[in-house]
Amino acid sequence: MPELIFEKSRPGAGSFTAATGGVNFGGLEPRLPKRGLRTRPLGLPEVVEGEVVRHYLGLSTLNHHVDKDFYPLGSCTMKYNPKINDALALLPGFTGLHPAQPAAEAQGALTLLWELGEALKTISGMDAVTLQPVAGAHGELTALFMIRAYHEKLGRPRRKVIIPDAAHGTNPASIAMSGYEVVQVKSAADGCMDLEALKALLDEDVAAFMITNPNTVGIFERHIVEINALVHAVGALSYMDGANLNALLGIVKPGELGFDIMHINLHKTFSVPHGGGGPGAGPLVVKQRLAPFLPGPLPVRMGDQVVWGERGPDSIGPVHSYFGNFGALVRAYAYIRRLGARGLRRVSEYAILNANYVRVGLQDLYKVGFAGIPLHEVVFSAINQRRLGYKASHIAKRLLDFGLHAPTTYFPLIVPEALMVEPTETESRATLDRFIAAMRQIHRECEEKNPLLDSAPNTTPVRKLDDVRAVKQPRLRWRKEQD
């Protein structure tokens, strides 16, 4: 392990020298009460400037990230984010703007928000939008609050929300947090929705049905129009978890499939950097009948100006301060404007092509979770390797030795020893070939019972961790005496 900056500290080696007489406030000395003044120094590390720079640059190369190498995390869409989007979001006109600036003085920013909303409506086939939610899970929660408000307005509150057993973990969590009861419906043998099982669960107590399409095994639900009609027949709303739209851009509009409401993760499909917890953006698009319940205020176009619209009486109220994560919205806007309709469609076409290139390159050695042609991601099941004595986790950890990030493992739960790969459209054929070659070599190592599999990862700064202890006894703070 590299040394911590505190361990590099040498008394007197500080990077700067302050004037000995203290700071000259020119007669405006802050009058802090004595008890508020520090009596002992802060205990900051003392390191010369050059070493500080090298220290942090070194740290930045220890962790894996999408600018360093391939990051095929299924469902998460870890794609390369063009740097021009960052450059545009950092324009001083954007970064220097105060969120409470009067609308008349912030027309550029407001127009950007309005146009981004219009683009998302067009892409999704929906009628209205809010950009406020700052994550996928936040969009889900906002949607569920709106769904509740909608049913209450009609004077028939309901209790249940149905999800498939392969749902992303945030779905049941958001449902429970919004006070609804989670009802799971089984997947059929082909990885799609079991229509008969769904029919048996649908009744007048169901507030909504939530589904990801393509589903979490990467397969498009062929019966989705029929499913949405069944949901509507009992007066429930149909929610699409659109966190990952990488398979659909310019090809399918969820609004035209009968969905009423959907969140979109700009930090997945629309090139906003993510990982490490944010900042993200999870805008919500809805059909007209849900528009009155949207959080507000919303930007509205009035002639050639964009102004903040009044929040209507049925609005659930704001779910975030001001407009959500503005910097993330600028990046997504730049990305959408740069690609245009044709470019966005090509994103999905290449994402699908790349996932299937990986599938075909590996399917003789790694069992594919479900028959049929997946779209933007492919789920393998490491059951051939398990017969040889190795689990999906061995394969995932050994991949790190090749400088590649592991796929998502053990999700979805309905696939045993799942390895979920989403290569995304931004990877070149050379990178995909390198990944396929590494996976094929790892399979050979399973056959040879190569000891490198048990000790993996062998080349990372931190070696094999005790997963359980890491969760139960985390060491979150460095103390000298620990070492």
Ligand X SMILES: *Cc1c(COP(=O)(O)O)cnc(C)c1O
The conformation of residue 41, written as its DSSP 8-state character, comes to -
Which residue is closest to ligand X by CB?
136
CA separation (Å) from 427 to 176, 180, 284, 345? 37, 40, 29, 16
| Length in residues, the chain | 483
CA torsion sign for 273, 278, 279, 280 is: positive
Residue closer to ligand X (CB basis): 143 or 339:
143
**Smallest distance from ligand X to CB 429, Å:** 25
Nearer to ligand X, 137 or 404 (CB): 137
Q: Does 74 bind ligand X (CB under 6 A)?
A: no
DSSP three-state, residue 482: helix
Rounded-to-integer distance, Cα 74 and Cα 385, Å: 20
Which residue of 72, 117, 133, 136 would you call a contact of ligand X, by CB under 6 A? 136
Phi, psi of 128 (to 5 degrees): -145, 165
Question: 330: which residues sit within 8 A by CB, 6+ positions away?
Answer: 85, 88, 89, 94, 112
Map the footprint of ligand X across residues 433-452, applying CB under 6 A.
Answer: none
Question: Contact at 8 Å (CB) between 55 and 47?
Answer: yes
- Contact flags string 204-243 toward ligand X, x per CB under 6 A: --------x----------------------------x-x
* Stretch binding ligand X (CB under 6 A), from 130-138, 339-347, 419-427, 433-441: 130-138
Select 215 or 228, whichever has its Cβ closest to ligand X: 215
Q: Nearest approach, Cβ of 211 to ligand X (angstroms)?
A: 10
**Separation of alpha carbons 454 and 163, rounded Å:** 37
Task: Name the residue nearer to ligand X (CB basis): 234 or 257.
Answer: 257
Q: What are phi and psi of 184, to 5 degrees?
A: -95, 140
Which one, 182 or 452, has the nearer CB to ligand X?
182
Of 81, 85, 213, 244, the one binding ligand X by CB under 6 A? 244
Nearest to 263, CA basis, from 249, 281, 242, 280: 242
DSSP assigned state of 255: G
3-state SS, residue 294: coil
What part of residues 349-378 is at the interface with ligand X (CB under 6 A)?
A: none
Cα torsion 475, 476, 479, 482 to 10°: value is 10
**Beta carbon nearer to ligand X, 221 or 445:** 221
Binding letters toward ligand X, positions 273-302, x by CB under 6 A: -------x-x--------------------
> Is residue 149 a contact partner of residue 293, using CB atoms and an 8 Å limit?
yes
Q: Which is nearer to ligand X, 124 or 385 (CB)?
A: 124
- Identify which of residues 135 and 334 has a Cβ nearer to ligand X in the complex: 135
In the region spanning residues 167 to 206, those forming contacts with ligand X, defined by CB under 6 A, are 168, 170
* 160 touches ligand X by CB under 6 A: no
Query: What does the binding site for ligand X look like in residue numbers (CB under 6 A)?
Result: 75-76, 135-137, 168, 170, 212, 241, 243-244, 265, 280, 282
